[in-house]
A and B are shown apart, each in its own frame.
Chain A
Amino acid sequence: MIEVISESRCIECNQCVSVCPTNVFEKVEDGVPVIARQDDCQTCFMCELYCPVDALYVAPESERPIGVTEQEALEQGLIGGYREKVGWGKGRTPVASHDYMYRLSVMTRF
């Protein structure tokens, strides 16, 4: 579930408010958006991918909140890792074009 919106990183673009398919976030006038409906989070990680400044952290636990703090997420280097792997963001190559997509198909039936 979504656990963290980093106040220090968030640029208040409200992209997460727009892209969340289950409307978990709430826009705040002149402020950082809030996680208003955490129970509705389906742990799809899409908000993390669309956040342009890696200010969000979605914990893998989908059933209940586990209470990760921004500090913990940052210290463990958890923030921003998914977006990097998918290859979204300036100067990155989308994983969609990765050679391994084809290599794997040669070696398996996927």
Chain B
Amino acid sequence: MAKLAADIQLKADVLVIGGGPAGTWAAITAASRGAKVILADKGYCGSSGATAPSGTGVWYVKPDANLRAEAKASRYNLGGRLAEHRWMDRVLDRTFSNMNYLSEVGYPFPKDDQGEPYKRGLQGPEYMRLMRKLVKKAGVKILDHSPVLELLVDEYGVGGASGVHIQTNDTWTVQAGAVVIATGGCAFLSKALGCNVLTGDGYLLAAETGAELSGMEFSNAYAISPTFSSVTKTAYYSYANFYYEDGSPVEGAGSKSGRSIIARKLQEGRQVYAKLDQAPEEIQQLLRVNQTNFFLPFDRKGINPFTELFPVTLRLEGTVRGTGGIRIVDETCATSVPGLYAAGDAATRELICGGFTGGGSHNAAWAMSSGSFAGEGASAYVKKLGVHGVDRNLRSASTAQHIDRIDGASALATANKTEEIVRAVQAEVAPYNKNLFRTDATLKASLQQLDQLWTEQRNSTVVEPSALGMKAREAMAMTATARWMYNSALARTETRGMHKREDHKALDENQRYRLVSSGLDSIKVRPEQVSDEHLVKEGEAV
């Protein structure tokens, strides 16, 4: 096992996996509670993930009872009434204080008319560069380009992880009292902006230790983007009209409820074009500044999106803008496995937005809040663990076969195999007629393929500590993710939130519960009741 002979052997109180918003908030929060923290990112903490390359709104609402009530109500019904008031209140409170903290430590917020910092949005590059600085300042050791390949466990629960630095191929092991998974969601290598590092790795790692998932049926988010580009910013398409090549309008097409119509046209093989011709001239320059990256591809191709048609597609964002993820069991964002915590898009966001896309402001709020909750929870857990955390007899929880090195010929075969598996999984999750519009028959047909792909990998995947091994694990994670998604989608015989069943088009009041999925070789799905308890009574918001 790689862990015994790792080139780099480290010990920490808390290991955070993933260096996006959730991971960095978890790291600085745990460190502020006195924990020794290591953060490992498979890319680079500061540029990795969906937040870093773009701008995002933030669910920042002043603690005014009416404003808060309005904010909570905004997506409650859209999400199929699966959110919980207690959680929305906590997240609104924590987001408010975390954003105020960002202002104190130097995030350059713009000023409102009163000269006060305006805190309802964050620019990704600026935000994540600052978060990396704060993580380092907190004394956290960062391991960049360091994917986790396996979690380590014993009878007390999770106790660390091992992985590889893909630029040096040095293997590493971190023994830790608690592990926070903040690896983001899964967009199945669709090239949605910043999302190709988001391959469901954390779901697989968590499930291998016995943790459960929740809301995996809410995993069919698609974003509008130009066909030639990675930039997925659906919000701006509220200013778009949609056309065919000859300039005639696509009836009923729109960025919100009309997205299905775009999908159906694309499915029929008809190219759809967009033009942001509803944007009044006086706000065009404001739009340009607000989402600098949105206009970059257009500028570089010499297209004026306000006056010229450009071809669009719907790019899969999976659970990144879905709401499903690892099930958390209490207010510390603990999973059902001792020592294992989940935060950000890796965790379920149903608690604050139910089954409707958590994209944008809700996800940003959830990332910073759940990251903080998990950081606090993990550091408190380690303190309680005491001496038990010191000497542990850890073993790998991985379902793959891990080996030291493979020879050149096998390496090439493995790389080809991995690519083949990724394409086969994409063929089941990317098509609109399989994932966006679901039926009992299509879900079952896909699951047959996906189950076979899982069995194949389970029996033959060998993972060496290198970029190749990382990709083999990503393929496993995507396969497993697709299976939790479709098993959950099969069990929800209704249309609720973003989950659309062509054979059950209405919402069924009797199915107002969350769906918890678990298992790897055989997958189980069970309902879990939604709590209607209020932490803070209406009208009493802090």
Contacts and interface: CB of A to CB of B under 8 A. Distances in A.
Interface stretch (B294-302, B319-327, B375-383, B483-491): B294-302
B300 A94 contact: no
B9 to A, nearest CB: 23
Given A46-B125, A105-B118, A82 B44 contact: no
Given A20-B44, A60-B228, A63-B228, A101 B121 contact: yes
B256 to A, nearest CB: 12
A20 B47 contact: yes
A100 B296 contact: no
A60 B43 contact: no
Nearest to B19: A21
A95 B282 CA distance: 19
Contacts of B194: 21, 42, 44
Interface in B277-324: 282-283, 285-287, 289-290, 292-293, 296-301
B516 interface: no
A89 B44 CA distance: 20
A96 interface: yes
- Interface size on B, as a range, is 35 or more
A30 interface: no
Contacts of A18: 44, 144
Nearest to A108: B283
A107 interface: yes
A22 B292 CA distance: 22
Contacts of B235: 110
Contacts of B300: 59-60, 78
B197 interface: yes
B228 A62 contact: yes
B125 A101 contact: no
A94 B290 contact: no
A38 interface: no
Contacts of A81: 296, 299
A19 B47 CA distance: 6
B46 A101 contact: no
A88 B196 CA distance: 25
A40 B110 CA distance: 35
A16 to B, nearest CB: 10
A9 interface: no
B121 A21 contact: no
A75 interface: no
A17 B510 CA distance: 53
A44 B166 contact: no
B188 to A, nearest CB: 13
B459 interface: no
Contacts of A50: 47
Contacts of A27: 167
Residue of B125, B229, B292 with highest tally of chain A CB at under 10 A: B125
A97 B289 CA distance: 10
A interface bracket (residues with beta carbon within 8 Å of B):
35 or more
Interface string B100-143: 00000001111111000010111101110000000000000000
Contact of B52 (A44, A94, A102): A44
B191 A96 contact: no
B293 A46 contact: no
A22 B386 CA distance: 38
A100 B285 CA distance: 8
- A21, A45, A107 interface centre (most CB from chain B within 10 Å): A21
Nearest to A48: B296
Interface in A47-98: 49-50, 59-63, 78, 81-82, 85-86, 88, 94-98
Contact of A45 (B53, B197, B289, B299): B53
A76 to B, nearest CB: 9
A105 B47 contact: no
A98 B289 contact: yes
A21 B49 contact: yes
Contacts of A21: 43-44, 47-49, 52, 194, 196-197
A105 B291 CA distance: 13
Interface in B181-225: 191, 193-197
A85 to B, nearest CB: 5
A73 to B, nearest CB: 10
A19 to B, nearest CB: 5
B289 A101 contact: yes
B92 interface: no
B193 to A, nearest CB: 6
A96 B109 contact: yes
B446 to A, nearest CB: 24
B431 interface: no
Given A18-B44, A19-B46, A102-B118, 9 more contacts: A44-B193, A44-B230, A62-B191, A63-B228, A94-B108, A96-B109, A97-B110, A100-B290, A110-B121
5 contacts: A18-B44, A18-B144, A94-B108, A97-B109, A100-B290
Kindly list the 4 A-B residue pairs having the minimum CB-CB distance in the complex, ordered from nearest: A21-B43, A60-B297, A97-B108, A42-B196
